[in-house]
A and B are shown apart, each in its own frame.
Chain A
Amino acid sequence: MKRISTDMPNNDMQYYMRRKEALLSRMQGKIAGQSRIQNLRDDPVAAAHSVVLKSNISRLRQFSDNTGEIQSRGRVVEGYIQESLSIMHRLNEIAVQGANGTYKKEETAMMGDEVNQLLNELVQISNSRHGDGTSLFSGDRSLSLAFRPVEGYVEGSGRKLITNVEYTGTINPGMGEISDNSYVESGFPGNTLFWAEQQIVISSRNSDNFFVRNDSSVLIDGVKVDFKSGDNIHAVIAKINDSGAPVKASLDPVKSSLTLSTTEPHQIWIEDAEGGTVFQETGLVKAANTRPPHNIAPDARISGGSLFDMAIKLRDSLYTGNVIDIGSSSLKGIQDGLNHLVSQAGKLGARDERLELVKGRLAYQIPEITAMDSRETDIDLAEAITELKMLEFTHKASLQTAARILKPTLLDFLR
């Protein structure tokens, strides 16, 4: 600039001071707010990352909560399974002891009393509730009891005792999300946990000429199986077997009727989906609007029972002193139940292990992602303070220059 007007130094000073002060105030704001991003423009991309990471952290925390809750529920259940196991062991001992044939009927009846007490305890366990008051083993009917004991006169005991234990829950275990799009069952429906034998349902209706009239579906253990109109009984059987439901369908060789048997011990849970009549027409279930498990057609044969059924059978054999039954079917039933319970305990342990792994991963992931978020948005204090110091220094320098703006003019030398 060749010519400097009197206003120019002043204008310059104001311009640079304004900029310095703006920078200083921004830096101070960043340090005070502990964030590199005061306004989104400071680093838009980091801000966008941070937004996703923050959401992700809150989600992971929720997963961690979910995992903890499901795990604690599982551990409570494990306690009950252990207790049931020791009851089953005792029943097994009694069955073995009662079957040796040297006891009189009065003596086996006394054993029957003990079995009865153990049965009561088993029913008690199956109806236990979680700390929050919800039923542990009733599926999603969490406010009602899982099993309903029915009492009746039992030969040899002389009193009214439990003669049947009905499942009143559902098969829906409930799901919890433990990672993005990864779920784990959170409940333990009693009709699987407290089951002893494979269940088989055999219809008594000849289905040779059966075919599906309209597109319709059935529900087997909660799995939906779709049929197309025109499917004959063999197509129906094939579709059921391919569906992934834990049952196997077959045609009874004698009666040519539809037969369903479980592939792992549990209560068979079948119904026609809304509008469908396949199971009804093949003689497996009663008329529509009846709910499982009490909807099996009255003329269908059903076998395979729960732990309670096994205990009741053993007790009744002991009361009547039927040594042959004690040693054969009763003992086998108890042992089946024991095996199943052990496998259930194993399943529970495996689930707990999986949850433990998830929890461990989350415990590592949450701080890691928090650190990532912090790297995106948080301020590096050492750097910020150094920068602030630099700014302060340059600001001071420009102030000093400013002081010289009031430099002497010709006026000072004129008389």
Chain B
Amino acid sequence: MQSTFTGIEIGKRSLVAHTKSLTTIGHNITNASTDGYSRQRVRMETFEPLYAPHLNRENTPGQIGQGVDATSVERIKDEILEGRIVSQANQQGYWEGRDKYLLMLEKIYNEPGEFSVRSAMDKFWEGWQELSINPSERAARQSVLERGKTLIDAIHNRYESLKQTRDMVETEVTGAVSRVNSILSDVSALNEKIVKIKAMGDNPNDLLDRRDLLVQELSSIINITVDNRDADEFQIHTAGIHLIQGRVINYLSTEIDPLNEGYSKVTWKGTGGEAFFKGGKLASFIEMRDSDIRDEIQKIDLMTVNFIDNVNDLHKQGWGANGRTGVEFFREYPFVLSAEGNYDRNGDGEFDSSYIFRITGGNTLSPQELIGIRGTMTLSGADENVAVDYFPTDTVQDVLDRINNSPAKINAVLDRDGKLVMRAMTSDIIGTPDFVIKHVEDSGQFLTGYASILAAGGPDGAYVWETADAVASLQSGERAAGFAVAPLSHPGGWVEINKAIISDPLTIAAGFGENGRPANPGDGSAALAIAELRNKHLMVGKFSSFDQYFSSTVADIGLKGEQSETALETQNLVMKELDDLRQSISGVNLDEELAQMIKFQHGYSAAARFISQMNDMLDTIINRLKV
């Protein structure tokens, strides 16, 4: 038999359920603009009706409804969409980080404009041109000097700006790593609370929202995947490694890498192994720092070192107006003071490497000459040695072109006297020195007897940098090969004009002189030869001339910027679409909420009315019957 007060009980249940619903509407409305908030709904269900099929059930027709019950509070969320957003966000993060720094690099170029390294160099060559026409003038020399200073300033400026940008990216890397760690510990703390609340049978909606928000931020920094299958152990992976598993965290850390000029590498705190990422801001920062910006620095270094070497080579042969000769125009700082370039690379107290930048053959060659011999040269490439063949029908120029077009990290040109010059380029591998010739070998006669660079052919006669006194394998004697020790790293940072020239501009050479005699005042041949360098086929690394160097580098960085801009725009759109989709599902709509509010308000009023009706009925029974 039902209780007399069943009606009031049913009304009360409804009042409670509708109050809960109204409170949740209030929660939704107030959080309409909260980041990562998903709207919530109170799930209303009918209360257990009477009677359950027990033996002691009353024998009346059933079942009689017992009103409403608010069973749970749920958030409205599409977990699959969330997974997609997490997997996309790292792309956006990657291009965001890349685009920002590429734009900075473009700005450093200052092109096309009047204040770039290129325009300073144009002015410098003009200075030499003027000196070649007026070789006896002091004013022309002064102008060469001042333009040289401007050029050096421009090179320094480019180098310093690049270096500063690289340092900035370094702070971004360490910042990103510490942000990852702090997100991980926040997520872990949330996991703990969430598990506890779930154990009590409740839905930790707000905590889940907060965790999702953190995970999304994490996914913009590194590429992650989220595993939600085990309700008790929320997992985040990156590249197959657990970042977080419930409460267990695998933290990242940064470690200074002595091989990479003291920039830090990202490692796992637990194992100490290096961590690699494919997407996200962190990956873009590491890539910018160790590839793009490093490349740019190497390019300015490459240009500087070839520029210094070529100008000095000619300048040393010329005679100044004050009768001095053999003076360098730009000061050179060798990497090692040893004349043979010997260096103790691993620091064990014994020389183990030879740092040689340039080797000059002892024979005079002519570019059109048929070589008439056959063989294969083995030269150092980016990571392994490169084979360059030559055939009896090749001219000297053909062989040089083949070397220069091969992936070898060595270029070859004929100098003013027709001697074969081989110069080293920058190194692709972090940790090996730039501007060091690593390997030169010839199975035939071209580099040995013909150009007179190597003393002997075959693998036994090869020049290999990883030995002390490697120059012993070069041709000696009457047609000895010449060589120059590698410069100190980053010439873009230290290049300067020789003090002897600054203190007396008359030291600047204008003429080569004749038959070994000092140049006469009107001899402008050296100045003309230096001015010619500008457009000469002299190989700046893989660039055939300074003109080509400047235009290629400009196009290169511009194309990178163009690509990143487009990619970022695309990713932004993709993310916006996904975000809109999420908003469409989880976002709060005030109209909807207000309509719901009215609904619940009415429900509440009706329940109250029902209770009042019940009250009247009881009143009838208790007070009117006047027992």
Find chain B residues with CB under 8 A from A40 CB. 106, 109, 111, 554, 557-558, 561
Say yes or no: A54 contacts B583, CB within 8 Å.
no
Provided the pairs A5-B583, A291-B517 are in contact, do residues A410 and B590 lie with their beta carbons within 8 angstroms? yes
Shortest C-beta distance, A189 to chain B (Å), equals: 10
B-side residues, CB < 8 A to A, are: 32-33, 102-103, 106-107, 109, 111-112, 118-119, 122-123, 125-126, 129-130, 132-137, 511, 514-517, 519-525, 528, 531-532, 534-535, 547, 550-552, 554-562, 564-565, 576, 579-581, 583-591, 594-595, 598
Interface positions, chain A 1-48, Cβ under 8 Å from B, are 1-8, 11-12, 15, 35, 37, 39-45, 47-48
Q: Does A58 contact B (CB under 8 A)?
A: yes
Task: State the CA gap A40–B514 with chains docked (Å).
Answer: 48
Q: A316 in the interface, Cβ–Cβ < 8 Å?
A: no
Q: Which of A4, A51, A59 has the most CB of B within 10 A?
A: A51
Q: A174 to B523, Cβ gap below 8 A?
A: yes
Per the bound structure, the CA–CA distance linking A142 and B511 in Å amounts to 12
Is there an interface contact between B583 and A7, defined as CB atoms closer than 8 Å?
Answer: yes
**A5 nearest in chain B by CB position:** B587
Q: In the bound complex, do residue A177 and residue B129 qualify as a contact, i.e. CB atoms below 8 Å apart? A: yes
Identify 5 residue pairs between A and B in the complex whose beta-carbon atoms are under 8 Å apart, listed by A's number: A48-B558, A59-B125, A70-B133, A174-B522, A410-B591
Which residues of the other chain, B, contact A414 by a CB distance below 8 angstroms? 594, 598
Looking at the complex, which one of B521, B535, B558 makes contact with A143 (CB distance below 8 Å)? B521
Q: Is the CB of B516 within 8 A of A274?
A: yes
Cα distance, A332 to B61, chains bound together (Å): 155
Across the interface, do A8 and B32 meet the contact criterion of CB distance under 8 Å?
Answer: no
Contact, CB under 8 Å: A134 / B522: yes
Q: For the complex, give the distance between the alpha carbons of A12 and B562 in Å.
A: 25
Residue of A nearest to B564 (CB): A41
Known contacts A15-B576, A49-B551: A140-B522 contact under CB 8 Å: yes
Are A3's CB and B111's CB within 8 A?
no
Flag A124-164 by CB within 8 Å of B: 1 or 0 each: 00000000101100111111000000000000000000000
Find chain B residues with CB under 8 A from A254 CB: none
Smallest beta-carbon distance B569→chain A, Å: 9
Q: Is the CB of A44 within 8 A of B134?
A: no
Q: Give the complex CA separation of A373 and B114 in angstroms.
A: 13
Please name the 6 residue pairs, one residue from A and one from B, whose CB atoms are nearest each other, closest first.
Answer: A5-B587, A44-B558, A142-B522, A41-B561, A40-B558, A140-B522
Given A6-B589, A177-B531, A187-B522, 15 new contacts (CB under 8 A): A5-B586, A6-B588, A8-B580, A40-B111, A41-B558, A44-B554, A45-B555, A45-B559, A48-B554, A59-B535, A138-B522, A140-B511, A140-B519, A176-B528, A414-B598
Can you name the residue of chain A whose Cβ is closest to the Cβ of B573? A15
Q: Are A6 and B587 in contact (CB under 8 A)?
A: yes
Contact of B111 (CB < 8 Å), options: A51, A183, A219:
A51
CB nearest neighbor in B for A41: B561
A52 part of interface (Cβ distance < 8 Å): yes
Instruction: Please pick, from A44, A54, A132, A271, the residue contacting B515 in the complex, using a CB distance under 8 A.
Output: A271
Give CA–CA (A7, B28) in the complex, Å.
13
Provide the bound-state CA to CA distance between A409 and B594, in Å.
Answer: 9
Whether the pair B522, A180 counts as a contact (CB closer than 8 A) is no
When distances are taken between beta carbons in the complex, the residues of chain B under 8 Å from A306 are: none
Contacts of A142 in B (CB 8 A): 135-136, 520-522
A47 engages B112 (CB within 8 Å): yes
Q: How far is the CA of A44 from the CA of B566 in the complex (A)?
A: 14
Q: Which of A7, A58, A172, A183 contacts B122 (CB 8 A)?
A: A58
| A2 partner residues in chain B, CB cutoff 8 A | 584
Per a CB cutoff under 8 Å, which of B112, B135, B583, B598 touches A50?
B112
- For residue A83, which residues in chain B have a CB less than 8 angstroms away from its CB? none
Find residues 283-311 in chain A having any chain B CB closer than 8 Å to their own CB: 291
Closest to B514 in A: A172
**A141 to B520, alpha carbons, bound, how many Å?**
5
Q: How far is the CA of A291 from the CA of B515 in the complex (A)?
A: 10
How many residue pairs at the A-B interface have CB separations less than 8 Å?
A: 202
A49 to B535, CA, bound (A): 15
**Once the chains are docked, how many angstroms separate the CA of A42 from the CA of B565?**
10
- A186 in contact (CB, < 8 A): yes
B486 to chain A, nearest CB (A): 29
Contacts of B516 in A (CB 8 A): 274
A8-B583, A140-B135 known; A170 vs B520 contact (CB < 8 Å): yes
A2 to B585: give the CA distance in the assembly, Å.
9
**Interface residue? A370 (CB, 8 A):** no
Task: Establish whether residues A41 and B106, one from each chain, have CB atoms under 8 Å apart when the complex forms.
Answer: yes
Smallest beta-carbon distance B276→chain A, Å: 28
CA of A137 to CA of B103, assembled, Å: 57
Name A222's closest neighbour in chain B (CB-CB).
B514
A243 at the interface (CB under 8 A from B): no
Within the complex, the shortest CB–CB distance from B26 to chain A, in Å, comes to 14
A138 to B130, CA, bound (A): 20
Which chain B residue lies CB-closest to A373?
B112
Among residues of A, the one whose C-beta sits closest to the C-beta of B524 is A174
**A-side binding surface: helix, strand, loop or mixed?**
mixed
Residue numbers in A under 8 Å from B557 (CB-CB): 40, 44
CB pair B515 A219 closer than 8 Å: yes
A139 and B520 contact, CB distance less than 8 A: yes
Contacts of A274 on B, CB cut-off 8 Å? 515-516
Q: Which of A7, A66, A172 contacts B33 (CB 8 A)?
A: A7
| The residue from B102, B523, B579, B595 contacting A140, defined by CB atoms under 8 A apart | B523
Task: Give chain B nearest CB distance to A37 CB in angstroms.
Answer: 6
Q: How many Å from the CB of A58 to the closest CB on chain B? A: 4
Contact B565 A41 (CB under 8 A): yes
How long is the Cα–Cα vector from A135 to B133 in the complex, in angstroms? 14
Q: Shortest beta-carbon distance, A188 to chain B, in Å?
A: 12
Asked if A345 is at the interface of the complex by the 8 Å CB criterion, the answer is: no
A55 touches B590 (CB 8 A): no
- Whether A1 and B136, one on each chain, are in contact in the complex, defined by CB atoms closer than 8 angstroms, is no
Residues on the A chain within 8 Å of B109, using CB = 40
Residues of B within 8 A of A377 (CB): 112
Docked complex Cα distance between A273 and B514 (Å): 9
Q: Choose from A1, A65, A175 the contact partner of B525 (Cβ within 8 Å).
A: A175
Residues on A with beta carbons closer than 8 Å to the beta carbon of B586: 5
Is A394 positioned at the interface, with any CB of B under 8 Å from its CB? no
A164 vs B363: C-alpha distance when bound (angstroms): 47
Q: Which residues of A contact B555 (CB under 8 A)?
A: 44-45, 47-48
Closest Cβ of chain B to A16, distance in Å, is 10
CA distance A180 to B532 in the complex (A): 9
Chain A residues near B554 (CB-CB < 8 A)? 40, 44, 47-48, 51
Q: Which of A34-91 contact B (CB under 8 A)?
A: 35, 37, 39-45, 47-52, 54-56, 58-59, 62, 65-66, 69-70
| A140 and B319 alpha carbons, distance in the complex (Å) | 13
User: From residue 164 to 190 of chain A, which have CB atoms closer than 8 A to chain B?
Assistant: 170, 172, 174-177, 180-181, 183, 186-187
Q: In the complex the two chains form, is A132's CB within 8 Å of B134's CB?
A: yes
| In contact, B584 and A132 (Cβ under 8 angstroms) | no
Shortest CB distance B330–A (Å) = 21
**Does A411 count as interface, using CB distance less than 8 angstroms?**
yes
Q: Is the CB of B519 within 8 A of A177?
A: no
Chain B proximity of A298: nearest CB distance (Å): 21
Using known A-B contacts A132-B137, A187-B522, determine if residue A58 contacts B558 with beta carbons closer than 8 Å. Answer: no
Q: How far is the CB of B384 from chain A (nearest CB, A)?
A: 31
Contact call B580/A134, Cβ cutoff below 8 A: no
Chain A residue contacts of B521, Cβ below 8 A = 134, 140-143
In angstroms, Cα B547 to Cα A142, docked, is 34
Whether B589 pairs with A3 at a CB distance below 8 angstroms is yes
A134 touches B520 (CB 8 A): no
Contact call B590/A51, Cβ cutoff below 8 A: no
A6 — which chain B residues lie within 8 A by C-beta? Answer: 32, 587-591
Q: How far is the CA of A187 from the CA of B107 in the complex (A)?
A: 46
Closest chain A residue, CB of each to CB of B103: A39
Do A52 and B587 have beta carbons less than 8 Å apart?
no
Q: Which residue of A lies closest to B510 (CB)?
A: A140
B517 and A52 contacting across the interface, CB-CB below 8 Å:
no
Least CB separation from A56: chain B residue: B547
Q: When the two chains form their complex, are residues A7 and B528 in contact, meaning their CB atoms are under 8 A apart?
A: no
Determine the distance from Cα of A180 to Cα of B560 in the docked complex, in whole angstroms. Answer: 32
Contacts of A11 in B (CB 8 A): 579-580, 583
